[in-house]
């Protein structure tokens, strides 16, 4: 059975900087190296969707080793949205078939929730640029890496 929303639904897509300084295990060192290649303020993305309970939202947060789905209050969401290190975009959910190929990442999960099927979007910054109606962010993100 497939459930389709009759009306357009808005979600908050929040882009965040990474906060891992250095890794102790081999996997953590590889993960830190990957993070160092991403745009400084766009290395993670979390999607927040309205809950069926008034005054709450559902947070879908995919990390390197798990998917966290939790309910937060609007006050908690407001704290996340007003954090000056985070960048938020309000987006519409588009109903689209899920095409899960390759790694399960925060970006791939956010794209699935939003119905974004563009395969060239693989980083949080590229998804941000796409949602803002610009190109996928490759050229701009490469030039901004020199600013670090």
pLDDT for 107-136, tens place per residue? 888 888 888 888 899 899 999 999 998 654
Name the E strands within the chain: 10-16, 44-50, 56-62, 67-73, 87-92
Q: Does this model's pTM top 0.75?
A: no
When mean pLDDT is compared across 10-19, 91-100, 134-143, the lowest value belongs to: 134-143
Higher-confidence position of 14 and 68: 14
What is the per-residue pLDDT for 10? 86
Between CA 45 and CA 106 the distance in angstroms is: 6
What is the per-residue pLDDT for 136? 45
Contact of 106 with 63, CB cutoff 8 Å: yes
Angle in degrees, 0-180, between the axes of helices 124-131 and 106-114, rounded to the nearest 10? 20
What is the per-residue pLDDT for 30? 67
Tell me the mean pLDDT in the region 83-95. Answer: 85
What is the per-residue pLDDT for 115? 83
Q: What percent of the chain is modeled with pLDDT above 90?
A: 26
Copy the structure tokens of residue 34: 């990957």
Higher-confidence position of 13 and 95: 13
Tell me the mean pLDDT in the region 43-48. Answer: 88
Is 23 a residue whose pLDDT tops 80? no
What is the per-residue pLDDT for 42? 83
Tell me the mean pLDDT in the region 10-37. Answer: 72
Polymer length of the chain? 148
């Amino acid at each position: 059975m497939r459930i389709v929303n009759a009306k357009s639904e808005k979600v908050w897509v929040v882009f965040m900087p990474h906060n891992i300084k250095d890794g102790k295990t081999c996997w953590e060192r590889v993960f830190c190296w990957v993070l160092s290649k991403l745009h400084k303020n766009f290395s993670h993305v979390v999607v927040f969707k309205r809950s069926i309970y008034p005054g709450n939202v559902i947070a879908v947060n995919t990390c390197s080793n798990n998917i966290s789905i939790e309910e937060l209050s609007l006050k908690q969401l407001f704290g996340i949205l007003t954090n000056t290190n985070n960048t938020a975009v309000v987006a519409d959910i588009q109903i689209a078939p899920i095409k899960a190929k390759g790694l399960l990442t925060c970006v791939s999960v956010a794209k699935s929730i939003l119905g974004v099927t563009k395969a060239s979007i693989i980083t949080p910054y590229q998804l941000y640029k796409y949602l803002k109606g610009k190109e996928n962010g490759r050229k701009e993100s490469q030039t901004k890496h020199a600013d670090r």
